[in-house]
Each structure stands twice: as C-alpha cells, then as structure tokens.
Amino acid sequence: MPEKNEIILELKEVNKSFGGLLAVNKVNLSVSKGELRALIGPNGAGKTTLLNLINGTLSVSGGHIFFKTKEITNLSPHRISHIGIARTLQITSLFSGLTVYENIWTAVQSRKKFFNPFIRAFKWQDVKEKTESMLDLTGFKDKAHLVCSELSYGDQRILEMGIALSTEPTLLLLDEPTAGLNSQESMVLVKKMRGMLSGQTIVLVEHDMGVVMELADNISVLHYGSILAEGPPDEIKENEEVKKVYLGSEHA
Amino acid sequence: MFIQKGKSFGFILIFILILLLLTALPFFVDLFYQTFLTELFVWILFAISFDLIFGYTGLLSFGQALFFGLGGYTVTILIRKFGLNTELSLFLSIIIPILFAWFVGFFSVKLTGIHFVIITIIFAIIGNIIGDTWTSFTGGADGLTFSPPPFRLGLFQIDLTDIKGNYYFVLAIVAISFLFLRRMIQSPLGKIFISIRENEERARLIGYNVQRYKLIAFIIAGGLSGLAGGLYSLTLKYASAGYLHWSVSGHAVVYTIVGGMGTLVGPAIGVGIVMSLEHYLINFLQATDLVVGIALVFMVLVAPKGLVGLIQSIFKKGETSA
C-alpha cells in the first residue's frame, strides 16, 4: 500500500540556461501521489522548459530530479516513458496518418519488451484488449477507424491524452491541453479530463485560469524561471505578488 | 485498422496466382525475356528493401547502392578469387552488407531530414570511389566476371549458368524476401517503423528508442539490398564499381515513387512499369530517361502516393458514392 502523500516527483534546485539566459532558476517542486499540480505563469516563464527537463527532452544545467525516490536527471525521453512518466505537447503530436485505433495500439504496444518481426501484430491479444479498453475510456470507440487527421481539433487533443494514458503512466505531464480551443471547447475538454484522468498524478501547464481553478489541487506560479508562489487555488487567487505579476495584468 | 484476415487471404491467393504465372512464363518467352524478367525480379527486391527504409520508416537513404554493390562484389570476389561455393557467397552477400549498414547506420541515424540524405549519399560516393580506384581488387569500372558453381542445398541443386534455372532461382528468393518483408511490416516491429515515419517525436515520447529502431530498419534494408546485389551479379555473372554508384539508389527512388511508397506492392509494380517503359522506348528513342523523368514528375504532381495510392483513392471514392 502506497502512503497517501507519497512523493512522486521531486525537483531539487533545478537550473536550465540557454547561453546566458537563465530559463529555469533553482526550481524546487514536489508533487504527491494523486495530486493535480498546475504550473502557471506568464509567457516565457519557463513552464514548458520545466516539463522538457522532467521528461528528458532537454538536459538540466544543474540540480536533480527524482521520480519516487529514484534519480532520473537527464535520462533520455524513451527511458523516462518506461519509468512511468507520459507527456503531451502544446502543439498536438499524433501519428496523424494512422487511424485512432492504430494510434492507441502503438502506445499500448510500447510496454512490450520484445517486438517479434515474424508474427502479425494483431495476434497480440493482450495489446488488443488493452487498446479496446482505452478506446472505451477515451470515448473513441465509434471513431476508432478514422484517420486521426479527420478528427476535430478538440478530439485530437483528447486522443493525445489517450495515447499518453495508454502507456500506463504513474505521472502525466500535460502541456496546455486547451491551447487553441475556445472557452466552450475547453469546458468540454475539462469534463472529459475529469472522467479520463481521475486519480492520476498530473503536472498541468495551463494558460486558461478557469481550467486551472477548476482542476488543480495545488498551483505553482513560475515567474522568470523561479517559483514565485505555491499553494491551493484559493490561496493563489488571493496572493498579492501573484496578482501583481500575473493575474493582475491579465484578469484585471 | 489493421489488415483483416479476409484481405490477407485475398493477398495470398493473388500472390500464388502471380507466382504460378511467372513459373509458367519461361515456357512461353525466349531467353532474352527470361533474362529481362530475372533482372526485373532483382530490382523488385532492391526496390522493396528501399521501401522498408523510405516508405515505412521515413528515411530517404541514398546509401542503398553501397549495400547493393557490396552484395554484388561479395558474390563475385568470393567465387572468382576465393573459389567459395555459391550458397555461402550468396549468404555472405547479406551478412557483409549488414555489417556495413550497421557501421553506416550508426552515424547516419543520429541525423534527420536532409542531413540523413546527404550522409548516406556521401557513404555511397566513398564506396564508389574505392570501387573505382582499387582496380586490382574490384576491376574498377570494367568490373570482374566470374562463373558461379551450381547452387546446392541438400539434394536440391540448380545450375545458375542456365538462364531458366537462374530465373527460377531468383524468382524464388525474391518471392520469399517479399513475404518476409510483408510479415515484418505487419508485425509489432513494423508498427514501430511506421510510427517513426508518422511522428518521430511522438514515438520517442511513448517510449520507443527511435534511433535504435531506425538502425534496425537500416540494417535489414541494407541486408536485403545486399542480397539484391548478390543476385544481380549471379544473373549477369559480373560486378563493377558502377553498382556502387549512388545513382543506383535513385532507381529505387523512382520505382518506389511511381508505384507507391509504403506499400511493398507499389514498388514492385513501379519496377515493372518503369523497366518495361525503358525497354520498349529504347527501340525508337535514345533518351529513355527523359520519358521516365517526365513520368516521375507527373506522378509526383498528380499522384504523390503512386499508382497504388491512386487506385486506392478511386476505390474509396466508389465506396462512398455507392
């Protein structure tokens, strides 16, 4: 039995500089099991960079990243995936020429160890069953045969989350799932996310404050690469400093 | 979704019918056409091996000429200079190109896009220069001739200096290679190759070691290109530095694009069409390449998915309007 407040992700003094520019500056962050942590901050605050450091797309300039108690600093993205961290991107990233079914299948199949070149893929009964249950969960059962470029943009955003979930992650990193959606579509997505992602540990980068306030258990505010404030949504809403640099400027 | 069992059954039926037809053909056509068809089979093998790396994995490799040439030289030199038997020589015409593909691929798959294309061309050019200048070993541009001993496998024996025997031999190996590749494309490994073609970054994010699988595809394609080269020299009883020229890879590009990349059947059809076109045009036209070039431009503009893609889209339209 895992403890209730078991730490899943921990960042210690993480730095990232691009040339002379310090994009992430001594960030400490700790996310517990089952928590949905939102990362907010103005453009260029280093939110996406932070996700890139966690999943190994970028290497850190300093500091340490731990997953559960294991150090995962600078592991390559495919190894991070196998450790149990999945990721969606700000700009939709799918196997766009393949069907919805094949997209999910490819993700489910990734948990296998040996890829036999002499058997037909559809002989893998367990992968097939898992793919079908993922299609159920994500609500794509009726659209499974569609090539995913035929899906609506909102559906594509959901499918990408479905792909990430199909790798059975312990931690999910979501980079602006509502990017490019209007507020109505965003609310549909949020509803969907509540269903699909319940109980999942998540780090969510998001611009839409409505979505953040609706979903987040805790919020970390990034400003010029540093954590400015941290706490539950109500607390952050009242925080004077946060208002000044972030909320104040956009939601006055 | 995935290829269904019904479709697979249809494929096997058509495949067997075509094989039967090709088996009967030597009794109806003269030796000239038997040789022509044998060469055509070899180029089909070369084209589908290229399609694995280009059409399925999304890597435009101009290095296939290097492996083709290596395969050709492996057979020629081992038989001519070392007196090795045909079986082992042909087997090594897969293994030696695989080792080279491993080496070339190790550096190449780290690069993407145009950089990958260029580095593979460079490796092919290096191979061509070595083949051209090391004349004591390769015969340079004049090449080397040889006479292969009969191919033996247990009690089975086939005389490759007999044109008809050679025809059946090449047909059998190309058919087996085709089935091998088709199965691999349908396999879990094939799904990884396709996912890399579709979106390399996404493939990496869901846990595939993209560089490793690119290298695996490159090695398998290299081995099969080598086998094509080996069969080509067995058919012509000859190999020269020209086999190593990077433009040989260009043939595969043309066949694959005309027929339809990422389909296996497409490149095979592409070989048939382009080679037949060249063959008939040569009677009244010197510049056959010009016509092939125009056909290629036409295909790229009108049917970027090749003939197979064109036919598929016509069928799809029929289905939806019906």
Q: Which CATH number fits domain B29-321: 2.60.40, 1.10.490, 1.10.3470, 1.10.10?
A: 1.10.3470
- Hey, is B305 helix, strand or coil? coil
Q: Which of A82, A106, A117 sits opposite B195 (nearest CB)?
A: A106
* CA A146 vs CA A95, A99, A161, B260: distances in Å: 12, 5, 17, 22
User: Which residue spans within chain B are E strands per DSSP?
Assistant: 144-145, 151-153, 156-158, 238-239
Query: A30 CB near a chain B CB, below 8 Å?
Result: no
What local confidence, expressed as pLDDT, does residue A207 receive? 86
- For residue A77, give the nearest of B191, B192, B205 by CB distance: B205
Of A98, A145, A167, the CB nearest to B206: A167
Both A151 and A197 in one domain: the answer is no
Q: Which of residues 1-20 of B touch A (CB under 8 A)?
A: 1-2
Flag whether A134 is in a domain. yes
Asked whether residue A90 is assigned to any structural domain, the reply reads no
- The whole-number pLDDT of residue A4 equals 59
Contact between chains at A102 and B203 (C-beta distance less than 8 A): no
**pTM for this predicted structure:** 0.93
Residue A30 domain-assigned (yes or no): yes
The reported pLDDT for the residue numbered B211 is 97
In a domain, residue A117? The reply is yes
Gap between the Cα atoms of B50 and B57, Å rounded: 10
Q: What is the CATH number of the domain that holds A31?
A: 3.40.50.300
Domain that includes residue A141, residue range: 95-168
A13-71 residue pLDDT tens: 999 999 888 999 999 999 999 999 999 988 888 999 999 999 999 999 999 999 998 99
Domain boundary among A168, A183, A208: A168
B contacts of A89 (beta carbons < 8 Å): 201, 205
A124 touches chain B (CB under 8 A): yes
- Same domain membership, residue A244 and residue A149: no
pLDDT at A252: 40
User: Quick check: B31 pLDDT over 70?
Assistant: yes
Give the three-class secondary structure for B304. coil
For B3-17, write each residue's pLDDT tens digit. 555 578 889 999 999
pLDDT in tens, A134-184: 999 999 999 999 999 999 999 999 999 999 999 999 999 999 999 999 888
Task: Report the C-alpha gap between A38 and A219 in whole angstroms.
Answer: 5
Q: How many domains does chain A have?
A: 2
What's the confidence (pLDDT) of residue B322? 41
Residue A63 sits in the same domain as residue A114: no
- Is B180's pLDDT higher than 70? yes
- Residue B190: list chain A partners with CB under 8 A: 117, 121
Share of chain B above pLDDT 90, in %: 80
Collapse the DSSP code of B151 into the 3-class scheme (helix H, G, I; strand E, B; otherwise coil) and give the result.
Answer: strand
Pair (A13, A137) in one structural domain: no
Give me the pLDDT at residue B320, please: 53
**What is the model's pLDDT at position B5?**
54
Q: Report the residue of B5, B206, B305, B313 to disrupt the A interface, i.e. the one with the largest count of A CBs within 10 Å.
A: B206
Q: What percent of chain B has pLDDT over 70?
A: 96
Q: What is the DSSP string of chain A?
A: ---TT-EEEEEEEEEEEETTEEEEEEEEEEEETT-EEEEE-STTSSHHHHHHHHTTSS--SEEEEEETTEE-TT--HHHHHHHTEEE--SS----TTSBHHHHHHHHHHTT-S---TTS-GGG-HHHHHHHHHHHHHHT-GGGTTSBGGGS-HHHHHHHHHHHHHHT--SEEEEE-TTTT--HHHHHHHHHHHHHHTTT-EEEEE-S-HHHHHHH-SEEEEEETTEEEEEE-HHHHHH-HHHIIIIIHHH--
| Contact: B1, A98; criterion CB under 8 Å | no
In a domain, A89, yes or no: no
Query: What is the average pLDDT score of chain B?
Result: 92
More confident residue, B253 or B155: B253
CB distance B179 to B268 below 8 Å: no
Lowest mean pLDDT among B61-65, B157-161, B181-185, B289-293: B289-293
Same domain, A125 and A150: yes
The yes-or-no verdict on residue A2 having pLDDT over 50 is no
For A89-148, how does the pLDDT look when each residue is reduced to its tens digit (9 = 90+)?
999 999 999 999 999 999 999 999 889 898 888 889 999 999 999 999 999 999 999 999
pLDDT in tens, B124-177: 999 999 999 999 999 999 999 999 999 998 888 999 999 999 999 999 999 999
Kindly report, residue by residue over A192-228, the tens digit of the pLDDT.
Answer: 998 899 889 999 999 888 899 989 999 999 999 999 9
pLDDT above 80 (res B1): no
- Is A22 contained in some domain? yes
Q: In chain B, what are the domain boundaries? A: 29-321
pLDDT for position A248: 54
What is the β-pairing status of strands B144-145 and B151-153?
Answer: unpaired
